[in-house]
């Protein structure tokens, strides 16, 4: 496990414990379905980030950039 995951897990647990101890509402859904949704969205975000980072853009040569001019034109 990475250290970022461990820090995030500890931070989440401490926020939950602090909210329960102080009697303030938890800033997360209190049911299992809502918590599963948060986990699924986080997992999807991380998987998409990993995919984008490892796969280069296929149509980069068609992008115009700041000037709007493209390097290669189709005929």
Q: pLDDT tens digit string along 14-68?
A: 887 887 888 888 776 667 777 777 788 888 888 888 888 888 878 777 777 677 6
Residue 72 confidence class, pLDDT cut points 50, 70, 90: low
- Do the beta carbons of residue 26 and residue 19 sit within 8 Å? yes
Count up the domains in the chain and report the number: 1
Flag whether 21 is in a domain: yes
Distance CA 9, CA 46 (A): 15
Flag whether 69 is in a domain: no
Distance CA 40, CA 34 (A): 10
Flag whether 33 is in a domain: yes
Flag whether 62 is in a domain: no
| Contacts of residue 19, Cβ cutoff 8 Å, sequence gap at least 6 | 25, 26, 27
| Domain carrying residue 21 | 3-55
Flag whether 15 is in a domain: yes
């Amino acid at each position: 496990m990475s250290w970022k995951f461990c820090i995030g897990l500890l931070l989440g647990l401490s926020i939950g414990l602090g909210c329960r101890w102080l009697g303030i509402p938890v800033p997360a859904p209190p049911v299992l379905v809502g918590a599963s949704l948060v986990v699924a969205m986080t997992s999807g975000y991380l998987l998409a980030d990993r995919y984008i980072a490892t796969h280069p853009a296929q149509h980069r040569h068609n992008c115009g950039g700041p000037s709007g001019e493209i390097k290669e034109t189709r005929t």
